[in-house]
Amino acid sequence: MRQYRIPVTRIEGHGLITVHLGEDGRVREARFHVTEARGFERFCVGRTVWEMPALTARICGICPVSHLLCSAKAGDAILAVKIPRPAEKLRRLMNLGQIVQSHALSFFHLSSPDLLLGWDADPKVRNVFGVAAFDRKLALDGIRLRAFGQEIIEVLGGKRVHPAWAVPGGVNHPLTEEGRDRISAKLPEAMRIAQDALALYEEKMGDWTEEIEHFGKFPSLFMSLVAPDGSWEHYAGHIRFVDAERRVVQDELDPSRYREYIGEAVETWSYLKFPYYKPYGYPEGMYRVGPLARLNCCERFGTTLADEALRRFRAAAQGKAVTASFHYHYARLIEILAALEKIQELLADPEILSPRVRAEAGINELEGVGVHEAPRGTLFHHYWVDETGVIQRVNLIVSTGHNNLAMNRTVAQIAAHWLRGREITEGLLNRLEGGIRAYDPCLSCSVHAAGEMPLKVVLLGPDGETLAERMRGA
């Protein structure tokens, strides 16, 4: 747990939500401000493409594995190589381990206190210790499931946090038989935990109808990678956009040409950019990424248990997209199950132990894009290099960034529904925080740690005057 925490020195400022009232006293808009720029794109200039996976893994203490894999993929493009099949399988295995550990952290550690203890519970008990007192088995399950995902990363990469294991052209070392068996031995327990958590969510869902309706329920586009046959994909494939009706808006988009269909808007009040779907313009081109988007975009998982769960997930939406951001939690639990089933398939594949894991090559392209599905959504690394492989320019679109417009829309919806008069109640503060948390934003990629984010909410009148403010966790 400890090594995933962001050092305090990297935390500056705090999460800030401003709620703007109109002349009529009603909520006009709300803004989720991201108030610190990290400047990582500039910081990488002058390093080599081979250094980038390990270097960019240090962008973020929460999702180093995601940056590592995405950077290695950008490096593959610059070497212009097709990596050996076993290397791709091993990278997939690590990404699945990352999905399991990250989703487990989000659900069990960060969100289960809200879900199980309630939005109006005292913040002193509405935490992971409160959950342990309420349901000890669930709390222990969360720790074990997360440890399973971390162990996969550790078996492959050697260390949990910054494994410089994926490299341009493949991976540094193969998986041993012993390593494979270590993972296999713990898989049945992980499966049991994932199924129990999903059953718990489906059982409790009826208690959360008001939150499901108002924590960011609105039509939008959804974007994710999908496999060539339309199946759920987390590592390769092409980009698909679907709308709120679950109609395919655009498909088979080349991820390396993302700038043709993704624009990056800037607002003066936030350092985090606002990506949008270019053909629809800004801000109408709002789209969501991550677990909810991946489930809305794909046709199927292609695994037994996850596909059964996907059918249940879709049943209530009657073939349309699930548009309630609250159900990011639901989608996350289904993805854990799918990831475990896919881990099982990979471990059963004899090729997973092959020693042929790296293609050697020099610089063959001066520009390369890496893209994959990080737990929180689609991640882009785009590098420009000189003839010797020295980085000239970098553009990153972090997963959390894609959801920026939707997160802002979500806090406005929550404020409009739960604000009474001019008072920022504890219940409103909790729900605003919970609404943001549904997206599981990694503010570390752009600002600071989620989950431990000190949050300030300010209520502003029609002339911008402060009417009330409330702060927690500073």
**Please, which residue, 293 or 310, has the CB nearer to Ni ion?**
293
Are 27 and 467 in contact, with CB atoms under 8 Å apart?
no
**Please, which residue, 62 or 171, has the CB nearer to Ni ion?**
62
**Please, which residue, 354 or 395, has the CB nearer to Mg ion?**
395
Q: CA triplet 289, 291, 293: central angle to 5 degrees? A: 45
**Of 90-98, 140-148, 174-182, 396-404, which part binds Mg ion (CB under 5 A)?**
396-404
Classify the phi-psi angles of 310: left when phi > 0, otherwise alpha if psi is within -120 to 50, otherwise beta.
Answer: alpha
**Please, which residue, 74 or 339, has the CB nearer to Mg ion?**
74
445 near Ni ion, judged by CB under 5 A: yes
- Which residue from 267, 271, 265, 278 is spatially nearest to 239, judged by alpha carbons? 278
Interface with Mg ion (CB under 5 A), residue total 2
* Residue 62 interaction partner, one of Mg ion, Ni ion, none, beta carbon < 5-8 Å per kind: Ni ion
Q: Please report, as residue ranges, which positions from 151 to 190 form the binding site for Mg ion (by CB under 5 A).
A: none
* Residue 395 interaction partner, one of Mg ion, Ni ion, none, beta carbon < 5-8 Å per kind: Mg ion
**Of 68-76, 245-253, 441-449, 461-469, which part binds Ni ion (CB under 5 A)?**
441-449
444 near Ni ion, judged by CB under 5 A: yes
Q: Please report, as residue ranges, which positions from 36 to 65 form the binding site for Ni ion (by CB under 5 A).
A: 60, 62-63
Are 339 and 100 in contact, with CB atoms under 8 Å apart?
yes
How far apart (Å, rounded) are the C-alpha atoms in residues 29 and 20? 5
| Strand partners of residue 92 | none
- SS3 for 141-156 is HHHHHHHHHHHHHHHH
* Residue 442 interaction partner, one of Mg ion, Ni ion, none, beta carbon < 5-8 Å per kind: Ni ion
Least Å distance between CB 474 and Ni ion?
Answer: 22
| Strand partners of residue 395 | 382
396 near Ni ion, judged by CB under 5 A: no
H-run or E-run covering 32: strand 27-33
**Please, which residue, 212 or 453, has the CB nearer to Ni ion?**
453
127 near Mg ion, judged by CB under 5 A: no
**Of 113-121, 290-298, 388-396, 421-429, which part binds Mg ion (CB under 5 A)?**
388-396
What values do phi and psi take at 455, rounded to 5?
Answer: -120, 135
69 near Ni ion, judged by CB under 5 A: no
- Which residue from 13, 123, 99 is spatially nearest to 375, judged by alpha carbons? 99
**Please, which residue, 344 or 395, has the CB nearer to Mg ion?**
395
| Strand partners of residue 171 | 166
How far apart (Å, rounded) are the C-alpha atoms in residues 2 and 242? 38
**Please, which residue, 256 or 395, has the CB nearer to Mg ion?**
395
Least Å distance between CB 59 and Ni ion?
Answer: 7
How far apart (Å, rounded) are the C-alpha atoms in residues 460 and 469? 9
Among residues 127, 231, 395, 425, the one that binds Mg ion under rule CB under 5 A: 395
Are 106 and 186 in contact, with CB atoms under 8 Å apart?
no
Q: Please report, as residue ranges, which positions from 284 to 323 form the binding site for Mg ion (by CB under 5 A).
A: none
Give the dihedral of Cα atoms 346, 351, 352, 355; nearest 10 deg. Answer: -170
369 near Ni ion, judged by CB under 5 A: no
99 near Ni ion, judged by CB under 5 A: no
* Residue 445 interaction partner, one of Ni ion, Mg ion, none, beta carbon < 5-8 Å per kind: Ni ion
**Of 78-86, 133-141, 351-359, 395-403, which part binds Mg ion (CB under 5 A)?**
395-403
C-alpha dist (Å) from residue 203 to 24, 32, 189, 354: 40, 32, 21, 43
35 near Mg ion, judged by CB under 5 A: no
What residues make contact with Ni ion under the rule CB under 5 A?
60, 62-63, 442, 444-445
What residues make contact with Mg ion under the rule CB under 5 A?
395-396
